[in-house]
Amino acid sequence: MRILLVSVLSVFSFIVLFSTSSASAASIIGGPVSYSGHIYYKLDTATWSEAEATAVTLGGHLATVNDAAENQFILDTFATGTNSVWIGLNDAAEEGTWEWVSTEDVTYENWAPDEPRVNPSANYVAMLPLSPPATAGQWDDEYSSNVRFAVVEVVPEPSTAILLGFGLLGLGARRRKN
């Protein structure tokens, strides 16, 4: 059932992403990968805003990192060499007030040394790459004009097809009883 859901989400995501006419949409270059019941994708390089817009078309947002294990999963699965990846944390609304674009509460942070900076222009967070190893997986607040790879997180909701499937199973069980 999980594989079917991932496959359905993959096809749906492909159709939605490539049916949009936005020239600034980032392309999917990795995934789908399942972790803790959520589906993740890696997007090609884009600004934070472009990556978030693409994430929304996929039915999600840039990744919300809730704990060290999820941070490590993202690092191990999507980080490459010296390339940072956008995640969904930002302080665009108010300098110094960090919020997840998904509106989830901020319960975990993993800032690199001397981060975050007090800089009204550096409002978007990227996870640092594997190299150098000392800061791998730590977070850096960056400028909106920077171009990075991005990690999208989709929290699946029961679809009509799945609910219909359960309904048909129930109907079949009821018919067997009669």
Q: Could you read off the pLDDT of 19-40 as tens digits, one per residue?
A: 443 446 899 999 999 999 999 9
- Tell me, yes or no, whether 174 lies in a domain: no
Task: Give the count of alpha carbons within 13 A of 165, CB side only.
Answer: 8
Cα-flanking dihedrals φ and ψ of residue 100, to 5°?
-85, 140
pLDDT at 24: 63
Residue stretches of the chain with pLDDT short of 50: 1-23, 160-161, 164
- Tell me, yes or no, whether 119 lies in a domain: yes
Cα 33 → chain centroid: 11
Q: Which domain holds residue 141?
A: 2-158
- 90-105 burial, b at 16+ Cβ within 10 Å, e below that, comes to bbeeeeeebbbbbeee
- Tell me, yes or no, whether 164 lies in a domain: no
pLDDT at 20: 41
- Tell me, yes or no, whether 168 lies in a domain: no
Picking from 121, 123, 140, the residue whose alpha carbon sits closest to that of residue 132 is 140
CA distance 68 to 74: 10
- The answer to whether the beta carbons of residues 143 and 117 sit under 8 Å apart is no
CATH code: domain of residue 65:
3.10.100.10
- Tell me, yes or no, whether 178 lies in a domain: no
- This prediction has a pTM of 0.77
What are the residue ranges of helices labelled H in the chain?
A: 2-19, 48-57, 68-78, 160-177
- Tell me, yes or no, whether 172 lies in a domain: no
- Tell me, yes or no, whether 11 lies in a domain: yes
- Tell me, yes or no, whether 115 lies in a domain: yes
pLDDT at 157: 80
* Count of structural domains within the chain: 1
